[in-house]
Amino acid sequence: MSTATAAPTGLRIGEVARLVGTTPRTIRYYEEIGLLPPGGEREAGRHRLYAPRDVERLREALRLKSLLGVSLEELKALLEVEEARGALRDEWHHGNPDAGRRGEILAEALGHVEQQLELLAHRRTEIARLERELTAKRSEMLERIRLLSSA
Amino acid sequence: MSTATAAPTGLRIGEVARLVGTTPRTIRYYEEIGLLPPGGEREAGRHRLYAPRDVERLREALRLKSLLGVSLEELKALLEVEEARGALRDEWHHGNPDAGRRGEILAEALGHVEQQLELLAHRRTEIARLERELTAKRSEMLERIRLLSSA
DNA sequence: GTGGAACCTGACGTTCACGTAAGGAACAAG
DNA sequence: CTTGTTCCTTACGTGAACGTCAGGTTCCAC
């Protein structure tokens, strides 16, 4: 058998940042606070390398952040869903067919998803309420303008 | 004619803060950066006094802030709608029946409202999209759990 | 008019989320 | 093997949005 480890290929941090519309500094910072997993195993000093999957995860994280306006700490909690999915995938592939463990992980991830859904639903209805109020305001304004210009 | 000005009554800053769920410092800060109008005319050193209307405005501002996750600078821009409505009310009552001026103010406020509505609609559809994605994820998870427990 | 509570105005401190600069090492190309 | 670009780590800087403290004042109730 060959002792050669898989050729370490992947996107570099600058390219990733460009792809998702942020900066290398931000990516490193997210890794630093534990929001993102370290960019591939590497010995200190070597370049971080990212797979397309990592790019997608980052994109998703930034999307959640801008959409919900949450702190990075809250975002971290929200992203635990993905971590759980990752853990699950590991258990699945890594030859651990312990059904009980899988069930635990699934149940936990499910809980997180439902929590997120609650948050989103609440947010959405609040926004909808605000939209209705503003629409009413707009109608009133349009009516006033109509009255003015017909005078 | 009496020279007595109206008795300066109203809520004090601590009470207002309690009512809307924030702190006096925050209210003073908002006034400082021009996000809120000064709490009633007063000579330096005197206590700020607020009318119930002011409380509502503040509550609305905080609601927008938390809902949209915008900076105070953006929030300030959003609140210009209210300022315009205030200006309009002044023109209306203060004996300035200049229809042209009123039309200008109305048109401007209308523009701001429509801008806000666009922002909200966008936000809402993005959230809805995320909800659909998460709901799909949840279904998938539930199915997996079902498969596991039926094994 | 005398407490005591709440408020006033500065002014400095703090946390978050990065920006920026320095000195050096890794990496792709020739 | 050189060279230019990109990246590395470390560390200090920054703007936003307040928190906190000091020393004094206003207000309300007695």
Least confident of A17-31, A43-57, B70-84, B134-148: B70-84
Within 10 angstroms of residue A22's Cβ, the number of other Cβ atoms is: 16
What is the pLDDT of chain A when averaged over all its residues? 87
Tell me if B64 and A130 make a contact (CB, 8 A cut-off).
yes
Give percent of chain B above pLDDT 70: 91
Is the pLDDT score of B48 beyond 90? yes
CA distance B101 to A85: 60
- The residue with tokens 């200008």 is B104
8-state DSSP, B47: P
Determine the average pLDDT of the residues in B68-81.
Answer: 90
Is the pLDDT score of B43 beyond 70? yes
Determine the average pLDDT of the residues in A45-60.
Answer: 94
Task: For residue B63, say whether its CB is under 7 Å from any atom of strand D.
Answer: no
Question: Crossing angle, helix B99-149 and helix B80-93, to 10 degrees?
Answer: 150
CA distance A140 to A134: 10
Is the pLDDT score of A130 beyond 70? yes
In window 17-46 of A, residues with CB < 7 A from nucleic chain D are 24, 28, 39, 44-46
Q: A31-35, A39-43, B101-105 — which one is most confidently predicted on average?
A: A31-35
CA distance A33 to B112: 39
CA distance A118 to A60: 18
In contact, B11 and B24? CB cutoff 8 Å: no
Amino acid at B116: Q
Tell me if B70 and A70 make a contact (CB, 8 A cut-off).
no
pLDDT of residue A49: 95
pLDDT band with cut points at 50, 70 and 90 for residue B138:
very high
Chain A nearest CA to B90, separation (Å): 15
Is the pLDDT score of B107 beyond 70? yes
Q: Which residues of A touch B134 (CB under 8 A)?
A: 113, 116-117, 120
